Structure 1
Amino acid sequence: MSAMMQEVEALVLVLKKQMEDQDLNPEQKINLLNNGLTEALNAAALQPDSSALVRVKSLLYESSVLSHCVSLLDPRRLPGLQGAVARLAQLTSSCCVGMEPSENLVKTFYRLFLPSVMDSLLSLASQLMRQAECMSLFRKVMDSVAWLLRAHTQLTTQVLSSTHYEQIQMWDDVVVSLLCIQLWVQTCITSSSLSVFRDFLLGLSDDSILLLLNEAVGQLAVNTDSNVGAASVRLILLMANQLDIRFHPLLLKFRGLDSLLDKDWRGRGFDQDVDQLIALIQSERGTLSHLQADTEHVRAACVIQAAWRSYQTRRRIKSLNRVVSSLQRRYRAQRQKQQQQDEARRHQELLKYQVCVRRQQARRLFHQKQRQLLQQLPPDQVQVYLQECERRAAVVIQSYWRGFRERQRYNDKHGQMLRQTSKEQEQAARVLQRAVRHFLQKPKAASVPVMSFWIGQTGLTDSRRAELQSRVQKHVAGHPSPRVSPEECERLHEKVQQLLLLELQKGEKRRREEERMEVLLAHTHTQLDLLRDAPPLSVVTEKDAEAFISPSGSIAARARDAHNAMLQAGRLPWWKNLGKTADGLTPNPLEELEAECALRVTGPAGVSRHRHGWNH
């Protein structure tokens, strides 16, 4: 017996070393664990001493083999390994039952290791549930969960509050719902019939019992399958039989359960269980006191909270799937990019290695040829040949060195030229900016005179003009022109002065003509205003008529004659006026009037009479 146990311990140690090997992939590790655990458990089970199996399980836990098993139950390793992973889950659950860890590992085993095993099993079952071809493996994993629950009832609360178990509960499949209910039914039946395990339901808290009862009643309210309904009713009856008085207040919190059973679940083949549960509910309802009526608000709050939690869970699951897809997509893209970079780096390294090898081969071939040539030469020409080779090598080295030195010198010179050009550009930019700022700082002239010549400019004093003239004379005297003599310069200066005086006289004449034109326009506008504001002939008076009489006698006479001629022409027949114009009687009277107005305006007497006419 001791020899057999030594072989089992040696097998466990070998299995531990194999799990620590980094060269093995997950598939190889899973196969090794399945084979090793099966062999070790079978060998320990064949021992007549029952404590041998306990020692083997404890040794597996203490050697961290079971920790490797839990890490390999990751659902991401599922593709192609569903059966092996389900087998590993069954072996891990079996090893966790009946184990007696050492005193220094008891707290770690119950507080950390067992919850991690249960969470991995539920996560694996959630992944297998989504694949229709893996339903038998899902059933095997759920049996492992039930086996672990029957041995460690403290894990019930973790199972009922786990997100993975919530996903399993909300899966719209009759088989999955039936397996969930049968899990608890078989757990309750086995724990009460076998003396190996403690009573399962008696070890649960009221909150865990209420969560379990919630699941059974929820299946009755949502599902329509007869098998699921029968299993749910049976689970409630088992809980009522084992918990007795402790279960009655919890059952009465589900108001309307008896009417639901009577309406939806009669005639399904399990009427006897339905009648028994209805009778139990009604018998307990009759014994309620008024103190329990206050629990209506609590039940309503529980219903609202349950609906809100289910809504939150559904939202979390939807967002979780989307986030997981996004993370997987990013991870694949990052992994592909990393693979491409590794491939490019390996290709570059291989290329460098090939280049080095070819260079080495070429150098070796060159030396071999050179040695063959030296063997063919006469002895007295070997030294000459070697000197010639040295000379050529020196020429090549010197040419490379001169080229490098010239390139460096050219780069330095080019950089210096660029720096000098940049410096000159900066200096030119500063000069331009200074000139622009000086120009912008000058005040704008209020008005620009018509004569923009340097003679008579405002702001230039006599002393400044004499100073500038002396500077100009000194400059002209110090820099005589090779083509124009001083006499020619004086003659040109006099000519320019004469042209300037003529231009000034023309400007004065133009100004006088403009002023005369403005006076005529003003007089014309005044007369037009008087004519426009004149009263009609029916109401005109002599005083009003005098306002329109011209102060000039000749103008008045001509106007009177023109008016009489027009009246006489109007009395004649129409055929006598053919070929005659309005100015036929008075040839060009408009020009004569304008000439006389201009003549009168130019003279002082005319101006006074014109002003008198305006005042009149």
Structure 2
Amino acid sequence: ILSTAVAGSKDGMRIRKEIWEYNLLQALVLVLKQDFSIVDGEWQIAASLAAILSQVCTGLDLPSAEVKKFEDEVLLEAVSNMFLVTRRIQARYAKIPDRAGHMKERNKLLACYRGVLESIVYLASGHTSVPKKVLECPWLLQLLITDDTDTVVAIMDLIPKILRVNRIVLRSLNQKLILSIMDELIYKLSVSNEVSVGASACKCVLRICENHRPLVETLCTRYKGLRPLLAKWEGAGFSRDLKEIHLLLQAGNAQKAENERFFRAAITIQAVWKGFITRKKLVKANKTFSKFQQQYRLKKRVLEERKVQAKEAIELQRQLKLNRQRIMREFKEKQLHTVEILPAAMLERYMQRQQNKSAVLIQKSWRGHHARNSMQDREVFVKRYRAAITVQRAVRKWLKKLEDKRNKIKASLKPPGLTDDRRVEIQRLINQNRELKPTVYTSREELEQGHKKAAEMLARYYQSARVNREKQHHREALIARLNVDSELVHLAPPLNSVTDKDVEMYSSNLLPVATKAKNNHIEQLRLLRQPWWKKLCDEYQDQEYVDDEQIIF
């Protein structure tokens, strides 16, 4: 039940309060006094009862009037009885011989022993007054005095856990009791040869000195021969704790020990930081050296390739020069041979023909070289020309789209005059026409053909209706504009009585409209100043012409 009801929860507090009210807690404390060797389950039952007792006491919420009684009587007796159980388990454990046939029983007893000690620690973690009662209990010192290794190690492990729960508990203890515990711990360090005992004793001494600084000076003055005795534990596996004790003995008092500890902590922090920085720099240096070596090798390889290419180029130039010399020599020899075999009368004609051929060849080579050099400029010019054509095409397409968008009129307008009464009248006329002129179709094929013909006529009507509606809308817009303009002109005052308000009313704030009006006014003045024969042209003729310039290559 207690394992399912966590301490601090609503159910857990209710269960623990009921246990206290029914005096089950006091009965459980009294049960721990009996000898469990005659009970079924023996010491496992005792360990379980100790665990239950610690769970009940931890998280128990009592009224303020009963808290003092609980702490002074129940908790004190509970701690004492738990230590009594551990003492009996330890006595039973010591009587069992350390042989192979009895190891199972010894392990069970040792597990029960440690379970009871863990219950004590759990109980101390829930009440700050319990650590003092644990350290003042006489059973603690008796269990610490025993020579059995396993039980002594468990007791020495208990002391640091209790000190961790309440770090200032040693200040409220009797100095004689503290010195008795220290004497026994120092005795274990000096006499015992078990590594586990030495490590646990060394750890206990350090924790006691850390929580109660005045004991550092007592440790140096009371145990003067401790330093040589600690030499036998060198290399036993707890050299760090031994080093801490050596530093405490060397310091002599708590203040120096604290300063020495801070100094060593600063050294450790500096060492870790410097190591981190050094490793970081080393990694960066390795990457830098690797990159430098890579670039150096690449540059060296490029230089070697350039040297090889230069040698190949020099060799190629030499071969070309030798080839040209060979061709020139063969040509001269052939020409000399031809001159030798020709008659004297034909020699001048032959030389003239050879000069013409040479001139033609030189001109051809020069023209080809000149055309190849001018080709780059020509390609740039052609590219710019094509780009201009592309830009002009895009601009004209954009302007045409704007013009179409500006002139587009919504065609989703209902036919004018089609009201509900008109629709009923049209339907009546259609029914009357059907009665006067009944259908003449006799077969399904004729009916489908007539339906198809009616659909085609309806499609032609809708195609023409859109255009007609747009024109009708445009005419209505023009009429409305003419009406507004005529009304404005009719209401306009004479020019001799025009005011700024009238000018503002007939002016437009839109820049395109004002610019267009200004241009029309200037054009009208220009036409008025022209002679009569220049006014004979059609005033509605479009004067804007766009002549595309033709570029001939």
TM-score normalised by the chain length of structure 1: 0.36
TM-score normalised by the chain length of structure 2: 0.39
